[in-house]
Structures are given as C-alpha cells and as structure tokens.
C-alpha cells in the first residue's frame, strides 16, 4: 500500500477544452483559490478566538475566587466582633480575667482583617464606602466596650452591666450586621454575575468552536467539490499532469489540514477505510497507523461506546452528526493505557453527484481543558462553601464551650520541669497573681500530702505509657482551706515523636464533693431503715429513674446495684408483665398518682418467677412538687397461685369432661398445660402389652416444631434414669427443681437425643404418672425452659398433680369407653364368627350325611345294581371318616380351650412320623395329580414329644397343602437341623396367602374364604390345633408366602431330644417323681439350670419350685416384679417363669423392664408366661410384650416340664 494514497477529494471536470499549451498554463480555479484563502483565514480566526475565550474563562474563574475571599473575610470580621462582645459579657458577668483573653486576641485581628477586606475591594467604590462606615462603627463599638470594661475594673460592675445592656451596644451591633450583609449581598451579586459570565464565556467558546468547525467544514467541502471537478477535467486532457496537479492539491490541502487545531479524517465507503488522517488525529491515537484501516480497526477503543453505530448511521442515512463535550477514552501513547478527554466533533457525509455517500469527514476539536476548568471552578466553589459552613460551626461551638466552661489549663515541660498555668488557676489555690514559682516541685507542694504519691504516679505513668489521665485529689490553699480538684490531661510529643510535655485542664469540684458527702450521709440513714424491713424497698428520682434498692432486692433478684439502677430493675420482670408495669409506672411519674401494680419477679437463685404487689408513694416538697418516690414490693405469689389454681383446675375439669375420645383428651391435657403450667408437655402412654408410646408433645414456642418431632421418637422406656421412666416404675411424682447438664447426659438415650435435650434448655421438670383404678396408664412430663425463665416449686407440683389426677380420670373414662366399644365390636365379631362357624359345622356335617344316607337307603332298598355296591360302601366309609375327623377336631379344640389336652411324651423320630403322614394324604394327592416330595435328614430327626400329636401336626399341614394346591403341582416336605432346632417345612405351589391374612392364619374359626361361595371345605380349626400342639412341644410354627400365586411355606421348629447318660442323682429324681414318665424322659435340659419363678400367690410359687427342683433345677422365687427384676440382675437366671396378673407391676411390665436390660445383665433370658388369661388376644399380647411362650393355667406338670425343657434347649446359650 502506498504511504500517501490518493486524496479522497478530486477535482471536477474541466469547464472547456483548449490547446495543450493553454491547459498547462491554467492555474487553480478561482473557487479553489478562494476556498484555500478562506480556509486559512478561518483557521487563524478560530485559533485566535479560541485563545481569547480560554483567557476570558480563566479571568472569570479568578474573579469568582476573589468574590468568595471577600465574603469569607467579611464573615471573619463579624465573627471577631462577636468574640469581643462575648468576651466582654463573660468578664462582666463572671468577673474573671480569663474571659478577656478572647477579647484581646480578637482586637488584635480586627484591624488586619478590615485592611485585608479593603485590599480585596479596592476597585469597588461602593464596597469601600461601606467599609468606611463599618470602620467608624467598629471604633465606636470598641470604645463602648472599653468603657464598660473600665467601669468594671474600677469596681463599678453595676454601671458596667447597665452600659452593656443599653440599647446603644445592640444598635451598633445591628448596624454592623447590616453592613456585613450588604457587603455579602454585593459580593453574592458579583458572584452570580461572574458565574453567568463564566457560563456565557464557556458557551461562547463552545459555539465558536462549533461555528468555526462548521464554517471550515463548508469550505473544505466546497474545496473538495472544486478539486473533484478540476481533477476530472484534467484527467481527460492529460493523466500524468492531472495526477501531479492532484498530488499538489492534496499536499496543499493536507498542509492546510495540518494547520487546523483540530483532528480531521476521511473514511471512504463502503468499507469505511481511513484515507485521510491529519497529524492532530494521529497524535490523539498515539501516532499509530490509521490510513488503510477500517474505522473499527483504526479506533478499537471506541468499541461499546456507541460511536460505531452513529458512524454507520451517517453512512446509511447521509445525515451529519455532531456532539459537544463528549467524553472519550483514547490510547494517546499507543501503550494500551486509555486517557480521558472531552471533544466537540462532527461526522459530515461527503456525497457524489448521485446523492450517494462516498465518504464521511471527521472533524474533532478537543475541549478537555475548558471542561476541566469549568468542573474545577464548580468544585472549588462547592468546597469553599462547605469549608465556610464547617468553620462557622466550629467557631460557634468554641464560643459556647468557652462560655460554659469554668476550667483552668496548665502545661508541664518534662525536660525543664517547668509548669505553666492559665491566669484563673492561681485563684483556685488562693494565690495572688504571679506568685506561683512555676516548677514541678512547687505545684506538688500545693497538693494534699496523702494524695501526692497518687498524683505523681499518675503523671509518671502517663508520660511513660503515652496515654491520657483523669484524677481527683485534694489541695491545700494558702489561706489554709482544703479544696477538691479534678484534673484531666494527656502527653504531648515533639517533632521527633518523643515525650515533651504534659498538658491538661483543672477544675474545682469541692461543691460536688460536699454534696456527695451530704447525700451519702442521708442515704446511709435511709438504707439503715430500709434494711430493717422484711420487704423489697426501693426509691426513685422524680423523673422515675431508680436510685436505691435495699439488700433484700439484690438477694432476691441476684442483680447488682449497677444492673438495677435507672430502668435496669425492669430486666428482672417477667416479659409478659414488662409492658404493663412500665406503662403504669410512667403514668404515675407523669401524674404524681400513687403507683400500685402486680407483676412477676424473677428470683436470682433459680430463675423462678413469683408474684409481687408493689406500692409507691410520691415525696413532695413545700410547693407540692414531687422530689422522690418511695415504694415497697410484697410477695403475693402464694395467694396468686392459689386463685389461679382454682380457676385453672375448674376450667381443666370442664375441658376434660367434654370428650370421651382418648386422643382428644390427651390433646386437651397438653393444651391446658402449655403455657400455663409448662413450656413443654410430653404425654407417654403404657400400652396393653407394657410398651411405652409417646403420643403427644406440646410446646409454647411455635419455632420448636422440628425439635418436638425429634422428641416423639425417644420414649422414656429406653432409659431407666429418665424422670418419666422412674415415674412409671415407681408410680410416684418425680420432681427435678434444677436440671443439670450431668442429668441431661445421664437421661439421654443417644447422641441425637442429647442434642435435642440440650437444645430444649430445660431448667426444671416434673414427671407425674397417670394412675387410675390401680393401673398405670402413662406419664405426663412437664418442663420449664429458659424461654420463659420459670422454675417449678412445691406449690406448682401440687397443682400439676391435681391436673394429672383429673386427666387420669378423664383418660381412664375415655379408655373404658374405648374398651367398651372394642369389646362390643369383638362380641359382635365373635357372634358373627360363631354364626359362621355353626353354619360351617352344619354344612360340613350335613354334606357327608347326605351322601351316606342316600347310598345307605339305596343299599337297603335292594334296587341298587350289584356293580354299584362297592362304590356306595367306599363313599359311606370316606364320608364317615371325614365326619369323624371333624368331630375329633372339635373335641381337640374343646380340650385346648379347657386346658385338658394331654401329651404322652417320649423320644420319637420325625422322619417316621412324616412318612406316615405322607402315606395318609397320598390318595388325595394322587387323585389331583400332586407329587409329594420329601427331603429328610434322618440323623437329626429325634425329638421329645407325643408321636400321635406330632403326626396330627404334619398331617394337617400336608392335607392343607394338597387341598389348596392345583392339579399336577408339587408339595415338598423337608426335615433338617436349623439353628439348634429340628425344622419341618411344608411347601406348596398353591394360590398363596395374602399378607394381611397371615397374622390371623392360626386363629380359631378364621378362614380366608367364607360364605356359600367358598371353594374348599373345613371348619378352620386345623391350623389353630397345629399351633397349640407345636407350642405344647416347646416349639413354634409360622407361615410365609411370597404373594398371590406363589404358594406358601409352613415351618415348624421343635427342640431336639438330647440323650444324657444316667446319673445317681437323676435316678433318685426319677424314683421320687410321681408322674408316670418313662426313665428316658427325665428332662435332662433342666438339670442344674437357674430358673426364676415369679408369682404373687405363695402356693403357686411353692408347687412350681418343688416340681422343678425334683428335676435338678436351681429355683429362685419372687413375689413382685421389683424382686424379680433385682433377681434377674443379680442371679442371672437361665429361664424365667412369670404370672401375668400381679398387684402393682404386672407380668407385662416386668418383661418390658427385663427386655430393656442389656444382654449381659439378663435382658435376653428365655421367658414363659404362665397365666390364667387364656384368650387368643392374651397370648398375642404376651408374645408381643416379650415372652417366648404363653402357657394357660391349669397345665399338667408333664406338659409344663416338656415345654420348659424344650425352651431351655432352644435358647442360644444352651449346650
């Protein structure tokens, strides 16, 4: 690319064609020459006018500053006059020379200030005339003041004050203020004129630049058109000559543009390439190459400023664009650093003859100096105004301080040990002016001997630690008097930062000290009287701020005097009483009426709140104004709580009687307790099976919802140390007046539970058992936390116990009502089951009878064909056997219910029994095409039991499997050892058992199908008989099913028979046994076993003890649950036999406590419930509570011994 590309502006075509010689001699066209001359003149004119505007702007800014100085000096002069007058008044009123110091200093500055003001306004005749008048008034004013001071010094104070108060002094001051105001207003007027002139000059300069720019652009455009025509004309005549002439013209134009004090550039369409950039434009961009680059490449710093969009718009629309005072950031040094500048610039489109934009001309003039000068002037004006306002405020504050303070000042030079005082310090010491020696030692002599060491140490410490000090001490006056002084000061450093001086102020505080002494003596007498009274005594100032409380107040509230003073006593009030109490106190203070109110006051020792009544009376002076308040606080907590208790319990009785629903009753209890009796109330109920369930957690603070939810998962039964667990166990109220962190850690059940307890911040706790009709229904736990600040007392416990007693009655009524409803439902269900059972029995008996009677009648009639006789007899036989089985099942159920079912135990092999049972059901299986499969472990099939009953068990299970399995399926029987027991499993591929029916599978009279549409016959007794027979053998039976169509599995677990060699002791036991038991059945599993027997009836305990000892067992007996629990811990029995119905704690509660113990303390001991409660629900409750077996009374000794022996053998620790 050429360094000097052709100019974007070319001359137009020649106006006429002539001979070549003529064309060579032709000069520039007249319009072109005229444009050049006009452009040059415009450049010079713009430069001159621009410099002139800048000079005017600078002069205007100077005049603005001059005007502000005049205003400031006028204010300063008036301030000095005010200081003179203020000092004069201070001296005349107080009579102390120290007040004349500002007067003397101000007089010295008034003359120079006036002369400086004259100098500033020397060119303004009117201001000079005002200053002449002001000077005359100042002389008169000073003479008037000096006259007053002369009278005062001569002892004519009254005359001096009269002279000061005369209207002459005020009149002269008013005239001075008026003259100062005129001077200020005149200068304000000048300031406004200068600001207007400044704005006008700045605007004129901007307009001049814009006008000159427009004018220059017009001439440049005109010259460009002329050049374009001339170049086109000469191009047709002579290309080389036209190029030379064009170059000459371009150079001439560039020379002109380089002289312009503005940045000029030409950007050619359509790529917006830069084809011309004068030196000013290049300097603005750090001298980097602009030619041949697009506008975005040449000026990347303008990206995001919007200028490129404006540039594009000028190319697109052909409309020029101009901006004034535009802020731009330019890379002036081409180093990446952008510098701020302000510019007036124009984008002027250059169009061809067709109206199309060929190029855009950029013309920019930098106005940064003008803009910054204007900004600086505005900022200076604002800063000066702020400074003047601050100065005036500071001077006013100083004048007020000097007027109010009655202090003296001093300085002590640490090197020379010289001390300097202000004139008003010597009178404080009773010294004549000028008699102070001015040394450190002389000043220390004036201090009381008992205080000298303290003062010296304080001053030395301040000098050493470079700090400040404040001290009070006594001085000895020259006239022999004793005075108190207070001194405050600090260390001053020299220019090197080293300690140089101590400086401070001193004031006489003797009146204050005397007043304090008198007040102390008066207060001491008052306190002596107040301390003798048994009540809480207080006194307050007339404005209501407390100033005294007797010792009993501090002892009760735990406050310190600093905490209780003023309004601090209110911090000991209950938050709910605070607003009401303070409002009543403010009303009494405002009206003077006696103060009487009741509130709760926190006791400092335990944080408990008690009710007090306070009475306060105003003490008045001779004119009836209140000077003090005197009052007492009397404890009325007992009376108040008694009234509240009666009202609360009355409301509680009504609320509790409103519902017979247990859940509603529990909610009522919690609602009544919170927040009246507690911040937290937790309700735990003891279920029928002895388990403790947390049913309600109420709290006063709504923000504790998540915490309450955590507490629901931690019933107290898991930790015996918890107050709720102790209350359930002992049936007594557990009162914890103070809950400690150690107790929280001990009663927590887990780390999570401990965090929840600590978050509660419990301060006091009461746990009361719910007792009704000799039965523990549950426990209510009440807690006070730091949220309310309350604590429980003995009276609170009585009220809580009464509420719990009424709640227990309501809960028991609700429970009885619920039980009555449940019993009615059970009775209705039993009646329904009975009706269904009778219908089923009728159906099952009548169905085979129909076939039997039919065939028998046909046989007796003789009309039956001979070939049908065999079938008839087979049918009669089969149905007779079915009826016999039904009757046998009914008899077995009757024996089970009455407890008369007996076992004849001996060692039997289950393999033989299973095979016999299989053969019994094989015909039925073959009839349906069902294959009977067996896996029998012959080595582990020896058990101790009744062979007939065990075969009945297996037969029932196999019969059911065949009955409910579809044709062409399989039924498996497996016999194997499983976890120390002999397991018999029967699996089928039938329809399966629904999960919701599995819990009722082994209940009497329960069938999955019922009514007239059932597909299978039977009475629903077989599985109930199986369960009872298996349990009589010390085993268990349960069923599982994976779902619909997945079949079912029944598993029977029996203890294995372990033969032991005979011993002499065993032989003697067998001989003494009265039961007809074979010699092999000596129950070796009971020998040397520790067995605990628990029964409240002594006869039952004794018979069991003798019977078990006959078989070699070591028997321990207990009459109560508490004795049994202690025996479990201490003796560690291997088997537990317990009655259910016992006074106090029953068997369910006992087993719950045993199972709560760790395994190493006996919590896993096998347990048998031996009870007269023989219902199905009684058995279910016993097993759910934690017993391993349920045996109904009465029971044959042989059966009981078999059950116990098998249970011992099945226990995990059995050998």
* Cα end-to-end span (Å), the chain: 110
Give the architecture-level CATH label for domain 901-1054.
Answer: 2-Layer Sandwich (3.30)
Residues 6+ apart with CB under 8 A from 752: 710
The SS3 of residue 1137 is strand
Provide, for the chain, the percentages of residues in helix, strand and coil under a 3-state DSSP scheme, each rounded to the nearest 5.
55, 20, 25
Structure-model confidence comparison of residues 509 and 840, the more confident one: 509
* pLDDT, position 979: 79
Confidence at 451, pLDDT banded by 50, 70, 90: very high
pLDDT digits (tens, 9 = 90+) for 135-159: 888 888 888 888 888 888 887 878 8
* pLDDT, position 819: 75
Q: Write down the pTM of the prediction.
A: 0.31
Instruction: Please compute the mean of the pLDDT values over residues 229-255 and round it to a whole number.
Output: 66
* pLDDT, position 1112: 86
Q: Range with the lowest mean pLDDT among 324-333, 579-588, 836-845, 1192-1201?
A: 836-845
Give the span between the Cα atoms of 607 and 788, in whole angstroms: 9
Instruction: Please compute the mean of the pLDDT values over residues 929-950 and round it to a whole number.
Output: 84
Instruction: Please compute the mean of the pLDDT values over residues 1110-1136 and round it to a whole number.
Output: 90
**Residue 1147 reports pLDDT greater than 60:** yes
* pLDDT, position 1075: 34
Nearest-10 Cα torsion for 368, 374, 380, 382: -130
Structure-model confidence comparison of residues 573 and 16, the more confident one: 573
Range 991-996 contact pairs with CB under 8 angstroms and sequence separation of 24 or more: 991/964, 991/1044, 991/1045, 992/1041, 992/1042, 992/1043, 992/1044, 992/1045, 992/1046, 992/1047, 992/1048, 993/1039, 993/1041, 993/1048, 994/1041, 994/1044, 995/1041, 995/1043
Provide the pairing of β-strand 1167-1171 with 1135-1138. parallel
Secondary structure element (H or E) that encloses residue 521, with its range: helix 510-531
Confidence at 308, pLDDT banded by 50, 70, 90: confident
Give the span between the Cα atoms of 1148 and 1169, in whole angstroms: 9
The token pair at 734 is 């557990």
State the average pLDDT for the chain.
78
Give the span between the Cα atoms of 63 and 53, in whole angstroms: 15
Instruction: Please compute the mean of the pLDDT values over residues 552-558 and round it to a whole number.
Output: 90
Structure-model confidence comparison of residues 1103 and 482, the more confident one: 482
Confidence at 529, pLDDT banded by 50, 70, 90: low
The SS3 of residue 1115 is strand
Instruction: Please compute the mean of the pLDDT values over residues 689-698 and round it to a whole number.
Output: 79
Nearest to 724 by CA among 672, 686, 669: 686
**Phi and psi, residue 1169, nearest 5°:** -90, 110
How far CA 826 is from CA of 839, 840, 1001, in Å, comes to 19, 20, 18
Confidence at 263, pLDDT banded by 50, 70, 90: confident
Structure-model confidence comparison of residues 374 and 1036, the more confident one: 1036
* pLDDT, position 53: 67
* pLDDT, position 629: 92
Instruction: Please compute the mean of the pLDDT values over residues 1030-1055 and round it to a whole number.
Output: 87
Give the span between the Cα atoms of 11 and 518, in whole angstroms: 112
Confidence at 19, pLDDT banded by 50, 70, 90: very low
Instruction: Please compute the mean of the pLDDT values over residues 585-603 and round it to a whole number.
Output: 92
Listed ranges 130-144, 892-906, 1167-1181; the one with the highest mean pLDDT = 130-144
Distance of alpha carbon 349 from its chain centroid, rounded? Answer: 66
Instruction: Please compute the mean of the pLDDT values over residues 372-378 and round it to a whole number.
Output: 81
* pLDDT, position 784: 87
| 631, β-bridge pairs | 538, 616
**Residue 1010 reports pLDDT greater than 60:** no
Class of domain 406-508: alpha beta
Confidence at 454, pLDDT banded by 50, 70, 90: very high
Domain 518-635 belongs in CATH node 3.40.190.10: no
Contact (CB, 8 A) for 954 and 1215? no
**Residue 884 reports pLDDT greater than 80:** no
The SS3 of residue 59 is helix
Residues 6+ apart with CB under 8 A from 289: none
Give the span between the Cα atoms of 975 and 973, in whole angstroms: 7
Q: Is 489 exposed, middle or buried (0-12, 13-18, 19+ CB in 10 A)?
A: buried
Domain 1075-1210 belongs in CATH node 3.40.50.620: no
Domain boundaries along the sequence of the chain? 30-213, 262-366, 406-508, 518-635, 641-822, 901-1054, 1075-1210
* pLDDT, position 684: 86
**Residue 1063 reports pLDDT greater than 60:** no
Contact (CB, 8 A) for 462 and 499? no
Q: Range with the lowest mean pLDDT among 621-625, 783-787, 1013-1017?
A: 1013-1017
pLDDT digits (tens, 9 = 90+) for 713-735: 776 656 677 788 888 888 889 88
Residue 706, number of CB atoms within 10 A of its CB = 9
Q: Which CATH superfamily is domain 262-366 in?
A: PAS domain (3.30.450.20)
**Residue 887 reports pLDDT greater than 50:** yes
Sheet bearing 339-351, strands edge to edge? 273-277, 263-268, 357-366, 339-351, 321-330
Question: For the stretch 990-1022, what's the b/e string if a residue is b when 16 or more beta carbons lie within 10 angstroms of its beta carbon?
Answer: bbbbeeeeeeebbbbbbbeeeeeeeeeebbbbb
Distance of alpha carbon 631 from its chain centroid, rounded? Answer: 43
Structure-model confidence comparison of residues 1044 and 896, the more confident one: 1044
* pLDDT, position 219: 67
Class of domain 641-822: alpha beta
Q: Is the peptide bond before 675 cis (omega within 30 degrees of 0)?
A: yes
The percentage of residues in the chain with a pLDDT greater than 90, rounded to a whole number, is: 11
Give the span between the Cα atoms of 1010 and 258, in whole angstroms: 117
The token pair at 251 is 């150079």
Confidence at 1080, pLDDT banded by 50, 70, 90: very low
Q: Range with the lowest mean pLDDT among 149-153, 540-544, 1162-1166?
A: 149-153
Confidence at 896, pLDDT banded by 50, 70, 90: low
**Residue 543 reports pLDDT greater than 50:** yes
Structure-model confidence comparison of residues 601 and 354, the more confident one: 601
Whether the domain at 901-1054 and the domain at 1075-1210 fall into the same CATH topology: no
**Residue 1070 reports pLDDT greater than 50:** no
Alpha helices in 365-485 (DSSP H): 368-404, 440-445, 449-465
The token pair at 881 is 């056997």
pLDDT digits (tens, 9 = 90+) for 200-222: 776 776 676 677 667 767 767 76
């Amino acid at each position: 690319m050429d360094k000097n590309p052709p100019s974007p502006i070319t001359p137009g075509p020649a106006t006429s064609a002539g001979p070549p010689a003529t064309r060579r001699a032709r000069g520039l066209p007249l319009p072109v020459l005229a444009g050049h001359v006009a452009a040059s003149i415009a450049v010079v004119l713009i430069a001159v006018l621009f410099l002139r505007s800048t000079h005017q702007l600078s002069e205007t800014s100077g005049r603005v500053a001059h005007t502000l100085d005049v205003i400031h000096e006028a204010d300063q002069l008036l301030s000095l006059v005010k200081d003179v007058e203020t000092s004069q008044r201070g001296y005349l009123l107080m009579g102390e020379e120290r007040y004349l110091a500002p007067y003397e200093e101000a007089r010295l500055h008034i003359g120079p200030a006036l002369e400086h003001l004259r100098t500033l306004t020397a060119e303004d005749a009117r201001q000079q005339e005002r200053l002449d008048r002001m000077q005359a008034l100042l002389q008169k004013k000073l003479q008037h003041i000096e006259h007053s001071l002369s009278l005062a010094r001569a002892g004519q104070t009254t005359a001096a004050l009269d002279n000061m108060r005369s209207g002459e002094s005020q009149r002269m001051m008013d005239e001075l203020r008026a003259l100062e105001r005129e001077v200020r207003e005149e200068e304000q007027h000048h300031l406004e004129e200068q600001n207007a002139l400044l704005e006008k000059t700045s605007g004129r300069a901007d307009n001049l630049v814009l006008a000159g720019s427009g004018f220059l652009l017009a001439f440049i455009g005109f010259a460009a058109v002329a050049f374009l025509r001339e170049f086109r004309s000469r191009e047709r005549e002579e290309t080389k000559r036209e190029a030379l002439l064009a170059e000459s013209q371009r150079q001439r134009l560039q020379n002109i543009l380089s002289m312009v004090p503005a940045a000029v550039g030409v950007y050619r369409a359509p790529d917006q390439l830069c084809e011309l950039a004068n030196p000013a434009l290049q300097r603005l961009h750090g001298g980097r190459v602009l030619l041949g680059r697009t506008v975005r490449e040449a000026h990347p710093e303008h990206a995001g400023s919007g200028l490129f969009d404006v540039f594009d718009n000028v190319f697109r629309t052909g409309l020029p664009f101009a901006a004034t005072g535009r802020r731009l950031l330019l890379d002036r040094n081409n180093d990446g650093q952008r510098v701020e500048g302000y510019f007036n610039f124009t984008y002027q489109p250059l169009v061809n003859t067709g109206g199309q934009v060929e190029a855009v001309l950029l013309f920019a003039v930098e106005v940064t100096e003008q803009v910054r000068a204007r900004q600086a002037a505005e900022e200076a004006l604002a800063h000066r105004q702020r400074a003047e306002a601050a100065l005036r405020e500071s001077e006013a504050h100083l004048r007020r301080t000097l007027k109010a303070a009655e202090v003296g000042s001093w300085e002590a030079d640490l090197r020379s040990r010289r001390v300097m005082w202000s004139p008003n310090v010597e009178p404080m010491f009773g010294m004549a002016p000028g008699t102070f020696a001015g040394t450190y030692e002389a000043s220390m002599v004036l201090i009381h001997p008992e205080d000298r060491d303290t003062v010296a140490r304080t001053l030395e410490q301040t000098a050493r630690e470079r700090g400040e000090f404040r001290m009070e001490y006594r001085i000895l006056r020259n006239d022999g008097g004793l005075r108190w002084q207070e001194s405050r000061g600090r260390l001053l450093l020299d220019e090197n930062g080293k300690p140089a001086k101590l400086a401070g102020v001193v004031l006489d505080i003797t009146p204050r000290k005397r007043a304090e002494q008198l007040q102390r003596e008066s207060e001491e007498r008052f306190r002596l009287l107040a301390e003798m009274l048994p009540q809480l005594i207080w006194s307050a100032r007339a404005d209501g701020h407390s100033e005294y409380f007797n010792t009993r107040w501090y002892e009760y509230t735990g406050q310190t005097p600093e905490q209780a003073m003023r309004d601090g006593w209110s911090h000991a009030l209950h938050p709910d009483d605070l607003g009401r109490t303070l409002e009543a106190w403010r009303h009494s203070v405002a009206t003077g009426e006696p103060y009487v109110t009741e509130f709760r006051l926190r006791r400092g020792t335990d944080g408990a709140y008690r009710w007090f009544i306070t009475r306060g009376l105003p003490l008045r002076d001779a004119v009836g104004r209140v000077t003090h308040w005197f009052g007492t606080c009397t404890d009325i907590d007992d009376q108040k709580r008694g009234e509240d208790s009666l009202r609360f319990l009355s409301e509680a009785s009504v609320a509790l009687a409103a519902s017979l629903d247990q859940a509603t009753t529990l909610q009522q209890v919690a609602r009544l307790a919170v927040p009246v009796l507690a911040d937290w109330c937790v309700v735990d109920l003891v279920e029928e099976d002895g388990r403790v369930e947390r049913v309600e957690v109420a709290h006063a603070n709504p923000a504790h919802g998540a915490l309450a939810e955590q507490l629901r998962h931690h019933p107290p039964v898991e930790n015996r140390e918890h107050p709720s667990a102790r209350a359930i166990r002992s049936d007594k109220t557990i009162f914890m007046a103070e809950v400690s962190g150690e107790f929280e850690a001990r009663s927590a059940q887990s780390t999570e539970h401990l965090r929840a307890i600590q978050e509660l911040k419990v301060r006091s706790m009461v746990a009361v058992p719910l007792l009704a009709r000799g039965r523990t229904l549950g426990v209510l736990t009440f807690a006070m936390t730091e949220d309310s600040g309350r604590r429980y007392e003995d009276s609170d416990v009585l009220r809580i116990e009464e509420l719990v007693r009424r709640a227990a009655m309501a809960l028991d009524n609700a429970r009885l009502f619920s039980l009555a409803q449940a019993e009615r439902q059970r009775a209705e269900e039993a009646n329904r089951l009975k009706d269904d059972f009778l219908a089923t029995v009728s159906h099952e008996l009548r169905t085979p009878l129909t076939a039997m009677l039919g065939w028998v009648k046909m046989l007796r009639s003789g009309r039956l064909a001979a070939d049908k006789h065999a079938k008839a007899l087979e049918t009669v036989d089969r149905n007779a056997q079915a009826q016999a089985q039904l009757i046998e099942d009914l008899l077995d159920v009757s024996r089970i219910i009455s407890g008369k079912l007996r076992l004849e135990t001996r060692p039997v092999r289950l393999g033989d029994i299973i095979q016999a049972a299989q053969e019994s059901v094989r015909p039925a299986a073959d009839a349906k095409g069902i294959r009977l499969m067996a896996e029998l472990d012959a080595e582990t099939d020896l058990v101790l039991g009744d062979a007939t009953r065990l075969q009945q068990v297996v037969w029932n299970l196999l019969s059911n499997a065949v009955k409910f399995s579809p044709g062409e399926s399989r039924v498996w029987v497996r016999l194997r050892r499983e976890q120390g027991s002999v397991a018999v499993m029967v699996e089928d591929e039938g329809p399966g058992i629904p999960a919701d029916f599995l819990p009722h599978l082994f209940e009497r009279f329960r069938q999955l199908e019922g009514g007239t549409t059932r597909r299978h016959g039977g009475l629903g007794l077989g599985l109930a008989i199986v369960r009872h027979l298996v349990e009589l053998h010390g085993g268990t039976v349960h069923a599982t099913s994976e779902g619909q169509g997945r079949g079912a599995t029944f598993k029977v677990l029996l203890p294995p028979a372990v033969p032991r060699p005979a011993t002499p002791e065993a032989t003697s036991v067998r001989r003494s046994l009265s039961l007809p038991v074979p010699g092999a059945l000596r129950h070796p599993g009971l020998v040397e076993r520790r067995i605990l027997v628990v029964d409240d009836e002594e006869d039952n305990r004794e018979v069991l003890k003798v019977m078990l000892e006959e078989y070699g067992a070591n028997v321990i007996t207990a009459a109560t649950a508490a004795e049994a629990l202690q025996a479990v811990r201490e003796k560690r029995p291997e088997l537990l036999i317990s009655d259910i119905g016992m006074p106090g704690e029953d068997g369910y509660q006992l087993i719950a406590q045993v199972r709560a113990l760790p395994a190493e303390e006996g919590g896993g001991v096998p347990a048998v419930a031996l009870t007269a409660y023989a219902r199905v629900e009684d058995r279910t409750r016993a097993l759910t509570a934690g017993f391993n077996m349920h045996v109904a009374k009465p029971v044959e000794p042989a059966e009981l011994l078999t059950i116990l022996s098998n249970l011992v053998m099945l226990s995990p620790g059995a050998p």
